[in-house]
Amino acid sequence: MARIVLVHGAFHNKHCWDAAKAGLEKLGHRVEGIDLPGHGDDKTPQNQVTVPLYAAKVVEQLRSDPEPAVLVGHSMSGIVVTQAADDFLASGGELKQVIYVAAFLPDDGQSLVDLAGQPEGEGDMVQANVVVEGDPPIGTLSVENAIKAFYGECDPAVARAAAEDLCPQPILGFVMPVSIDNNRKVTRRYLITTNDMACRTPLQRKMSKHPSVVEVAEISSDHSPFLSHTDEFVGIIDKWARA
């Protein structure tokens, strides 16, 4: 069985994975969820949060155990796990693979907004509804807009609870580009969500054609398949983790 490290997306914390984590653990995997800096129980001031800081937290987790991990990133954390994987491998670490779940997959010099701003990303309900204030800027989503963007196919009670658990999001996580070696050898797999209102499906399909992606699956889901289609999601991650 595999060691699996789960990295949440923007606005979220590690508890968004709880149902999927339990399902994967029942199948025998060792599963680790982390709070990125400024999210959940991590008390880093949000005005200090950057993509390199996010990535450093993931690298720290990868180094906490010698077993090579399956690294899973959702949504914004596609940016994070891309940077973290490159940093970790550059320092001599080993990874089994990186799995992208409705996630942004950049090349060197690209940011989330660079990818989301492509024509295939049109209709993104996060960028359309996020309220940005402050310097450095912090974004917030109302509960109702978060439900529409992230949880459209979840049980209503699950969707509301998830939306109410969100936190403000440092916008530097969206606009800072990655700095990576495009030729680094990384095995990637991509899970496309076909009813996604946050990271639009045409954009996911485009990103999933990256040369490093060795396998793609699709799930008829909103942006949060680990909540709305938990069993199907667990089945796909389990299969890939055993690959």
Instruction: For residues 134 and 150, give the distance between their C-alpha atoms in angstroms, rounded to a whole number.
Output: 24
pLDDT in tens, 167-192: 999 999 999 999 999 999 999 999 99
Q: Which pLDDT score is estimated for 182? A: 96
Question: How many domains are contained in the chain?
Answer: 1
**What one-character DSSP code corresponds to residue 215?**
E
**Distance (Å) of CA 181 to CA 86, 107, 108, 171:** 7, 8, 7, 24
Q: Which pLDDT score is estimated for 183? A: 95
pLDDT in tens, 51-63: 999 999 999 999 9
For 138-195, the three-class secondary structure string (H helix, E strand, C coil) is EEECCHHHHHHHHCCCCCHHHHHHHHHCCCCEECHHHHCCCCCCCCCCCCEEEEEECC
Instruction: For residues 119 and 235, give the distance between their C-alpha atoms in angstroms, rounded to a whole number.
Output: 32
**What one-character DSSP code corresponds to residue 78?**
H
Q: Give the predicted TM-score (pTM) of the model.
A: 0.98
CATH number at residue 46: 3.40.50.1820
State in Å, rounded, how far the first CA of the chain is from the last one. 10
Domain carrying residue 193? 3-242
Q: Which pLDDT score is estimated for 154? A: 98
Report the percent of the chain where pLDDT is more than 90. 100
- Confidence band, pLDDT 50/70/90 cuts, at residue 64: very high
Q: Mean pLDDT, the chain, as a whole number? A: 98
- Confidence band, pLDDT 50/70/90 cuts, at residue 222: very high
